[in-house]
Amino acid sequence: MRLLTLLSAILFLSSCQNAFEYREDRLIGSWEFDDATEEENRTYTTRFSIMGDYRNDQIEFMSDGTLVYQESSGGGSILHGIWSMTSVSTASDDGQNTDYVLTMSMQDSLNQLQQYTWEINLLTYDRLQCRTETQDYIYCYELLKL
């Protein structure tokens, strides 16, 4: 009986790890911004398009945890950096929820570090929807795989 319980636990844990790796695999590749919006964090009443700041910008996520961000606006800068995805489990009245967070750190041409943390709302093989919050604003992004 103990052997059966142990085998069940091992299978469960390995399937959780595989599900996480599967999610990371979906991120690998080149992505382009399709939509970007901003809304005030306190009112939730007005959403503004900020797509002009991201039009034709691309991010390439490599399997080794590195990334290249190519800006089409602002002089067409190319930023190099690293990325990681983590899972965060929380308990609620509805049961246990798992959220996925994408963290990116890049260095610009002036050697200034830029860091971004996005909560992933949707990640398929061709679509990434995510959001991030500051004290004043909520930013929502949608990217399409190239």
**Residue 139 predicted with pLDDT over 50:** yes
Cβ atoms < 10 Å from Cβ of 113: 9
Residue 74: predicted pLDDT: 67
**pLDDT on residue 108:** 83
Contact 38, 137 (CB under 8 A): yes
pTM, 2 dp: 0.79
What is the spatial distance between Cα 105 and Cα 67, in angstroms, rounded to a whole number? 9
pLDDT of residue 2: 44
Q: What does the mean pLDDT of the chain come to?
A: 83
Which pLDDT value is given to residue 76?
80
CA atoms within 13 A on the CB side of 111: 0
Reduce the DSSP state of residue 25 to 3 states and report it: helix
What is the per-residue pLDDT across 28-66, written as a single tens digit (0 to 9) for each? 999 999 999 999 877 767 889 999 999 999 999 999 999
SS3 63: coil
- Residue owning tokens 């061709």: 126
140 compared with 14, residue with greater pLDDT: 140
CB count, 10 Å around CB of 9? 10
| Structural domains present in the chain | 2-145 (2.40.128)
Q: How many other CB atoms sit within 10 Å of the CB of residue 19?
A: 11
> What are the two backbone dihedrals, phi and then psi, of residue 33, each rounded to the nearest 5 degrees?
-65, 130
List the structure tokens of 38: 């901003």
